[in-house]
């Protein structure tokens, strides 16, 4: 091994290997640096999105609370309306009341005056008397019918 050429060749081989290894290490370091940069960017993006999601979740929860309050208020109003509906008259009750008013209303029923009633009674009695052969009505004979003088 004393041969200087061999020694020179060994040294050159060692230098070549060290240079080759150094070049590969720089490439690996560059790849590692690129991966670290990408990881940092991803981490920053994830943090930013997480904050946005947190804000949106808070807004969503506030909206849900408001919606829940509105639903509770609407449910209470609906219960009040249902209680009031129980106090309303039903359709059949209204129809029954209309019939009662029709029965009691002087406008919708026929009003008979005293003169008209007397004439009707006289006609009925005359018809009965004629049927049984009598000429004079018992109503006029006994003065049951007294027309009003005007």
pTM for this model (two decimals): 0.42
The length of the chain, given as a count of residues: 150
Report how far residue 141's alpha carbon sits from residue 110's, in angstroms, rounded to the nearest whole number. 29
Mean pLDDT over 103-124 rounds to 78
Beta carbons of 121 and 139 less than 8 angstroms apart = yes
Question: Tens digits of per-residue pLDDT, 30-63?
Answer: 999 999 999 999 999 999 999 999 999 999 999 9
Q: What is the mean pLDDT of the chain?
A: 85
Residue among 54, 83, 62 nearest 70 (CA): 62
Q: Over pLDDT 90: what percentage of the chain?
A: 52
Residue among 124, 111, 131 nearest 140 (CA): 124
Q: First vs last Cα of the chain: how many Å apart?
A: 170
């Amino acid at each position: 091994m004393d041969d200087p050429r061999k020694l020179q060749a060994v040294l050159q081989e060692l230098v070549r290997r060290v240079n080759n290894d150094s070049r590969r290490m720089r490439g690996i370091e560059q790849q590692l640096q690129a991966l670290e940069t990408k990881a940092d960017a991803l981490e920053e993006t994830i943090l930013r999105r997480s904050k946005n999601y947190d804000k949106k979740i808070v807004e969503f929860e506030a909206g849900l609370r408001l919606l829940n309050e509105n639903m509770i208020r609407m449910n209470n109003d609906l219960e009040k309306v249902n209680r009031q509906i129980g106090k309303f008259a039903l359709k059949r009750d209204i129809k029954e009341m209309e019939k009662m008013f029709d029965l009691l209303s002087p406008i919708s029923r026929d009003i008979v005056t005293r003169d008209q009633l007397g004439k009707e009674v006289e006609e009925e009695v005359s018809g009965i008397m004629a049927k049984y052969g009598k000429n004079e009505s018992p109503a006029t004979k006994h003065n049951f019918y007294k027309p009003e003088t005007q």
